[in-house]
Amino acid sequence: MTAPTPAPSATHKPARHHLPLLLLPALLLGACQSKLQVDLAVSSLDGASALSLAVPTVNLKDSGGTVHSYDTGYDSSLDLLPYSSDDQDHSDRLALLDEDNVSGDFTGVRPVFKISASYLTLDDGTKIPLVLGDQADYADLSFSLSKSSTSGNDTAHLVLTLELPFSLIHTSDSSYTLKPVVRVAKKDESGNISGTIPQAIITGSTCGSAAGSGVAVYAYKGSGVTPVDYYNDGTDQHSYQPIASSALSYDSSNEDYTFELRYLPAGSYTLALTCNAGDDQPDTDDALDFLSDYTQNVSVSSGATASVTLQ
């Protein structure tokens, strides 16, 4: 059911050049520079063609509770939806940071969003203004960086994923409120899930969706999880939330539907299929129907893609 997608020889003796001793500490320090890279990915969103947001800052929280802020250069809005998939024109991630000499013991990270001529554009071209409700909570991740090669790790490459279906609250026909839900993974310790669903399940009596609209796959950390909707009203929330979601895309060459869940930390997950994902309002406890016959466990390995068929 799941299958991880597995000196030329010298003819004379070279002259020796001795470096001044005073230069050696500087060269050694330069060789041990730490580096932090932070990228942003976005989950797919059914019915939308563009999402304009500014991402001016990344915050890191250290073990003492101090917040360290880094500018990204994205002070003006840009379309983030292209970073929900990989294609020939761009990477599947927006590079937010590439910083040298970052040092500390960190426990969390988050992107900071800014509303600046920001809209959600629907497939029919309608532009709906966005209102920023709150900034994202810190995504929990413990890691250390040090300028010294004898303490901590020299590099960290993190991928933040903005889970759009869990982040957008439809407050009225004239606006959406953005309360960002963000998860994080170390790039070299994460993997993907690529899945297919037969067309008959989506368009037949099981779902009855002519174009896959409103159908989504949710992912939960751990095996054998009973699926529920995403719910967090700021005071109450489900004890075991979905951590990721994917809308469906139609593959006309194979006449089936596909989904993709990216940058998941290696481990076990439960996948669940719902035909009424459009009814999932993040700040309310919604009674979504999940199709128990199409719930599957899947294992994700670092640097690999697990292939799944829900049938």
| Residue 24: inside a domain | no
Range of the domain at 310: 188-311
215 with 256, same domain: the answer is: yes
Which pLDDT belongs to residue 236?
85
As a whole-number percent, the residues of the chain with pLDDT over 90 amount to: 64
- The domain total for the chain is 2
108 with 205, same domain: the answer is: no
Which residue from 135, 42, 130 is spatially nearest to 94, judged by alpha carbons? Answer: 42
Q: Which of 125, 149, 180 is at the close of a domain? A: 180
Q: What is the CATH number of the domain that holds 241?
A: 2.60.40.1120
193 with 175, same domain: the answer is: no
Q: Mean pLDDT, to the nearest integer, of 276-281?
A: 87
| Residue 139: inside a domain | yes
Higher pLDDT, 298 or 234: 298
194 with 259, same domain: the answer is: yes
Q: Which of 120, 147, 180 is at the close of a domain? A: 180
| Residue 23: inside a domain | no
| Residue 7: inside a domain | no
| Helices of type H across the chain | 23-31, 199-203
Which pLDDT belongs to residue 279?
86
Higher pLDDT, 160 or 101: 160
Q: How far is CA 185 from CA 10, 135, 158, 161, in A?
A: 47, 19, 6, 9
Q: Mean pLDDT, to the nearest integer, of 35-61?
A: 95
Which pLDDT belongs to residue 146?
85
151 with 211, same domain: the answer is: no
- Which pLDDT tens digit goes with each residue over 156-210? 999 999 999 999 998 877 789 999 999 999 999 999 999 999 999 988 888 877 6
Q: Which of 126, 152, 180 is at the close of a domain? A: 180
213 with 310, same domain: the answer is: yes
Write down the mean pLDDT value for the chain.
86
pTM of the model: 0.86
140 with 268, same domain: the answer is: no
Contact between residue 298 and residue 272 where contact means Cβ atoms under 8 Å apart: no
Q: How far is CA 162 from CA 75, 137, 184, in A?
A: 18, 12, 9
138 with 197, same domain: the answer is: no
Alpha-carbon distance 45 to 243, whole Å? 15
What distance lies between CA 95 and its chain's CA centroid?
12
Pairing type for strands 175-178 and 267-274 reads unpaired
| Residue 238: inside a domain | yes
| Residue 67: inside a domain | yes
As a whole-number percent, the residues of the chain with pLDDT over 70 amount to: 85
**Residue 89 pLDDT greater than 70, yes or no:** no
For residue 12, name the pLDDT band (cuts at 50, 70, 90): very low
222 with 163, same domain: the answer is: no
| Residue 164: inside a domain | yes
Higher pLDDT, 192 or 116: 192
147 with 97, same domain: the answer is: yes
56 with 138, same domain: the answer is: yes
72 with 148, same domain: the answer is: yes
Q: Mean pLDDT, to the nearest integer, of 50-65?
A: 96
For residue 85, name the pLDDT band (cuts at 50, 70, 90): confident
| Residue 75: inside a domain | yes
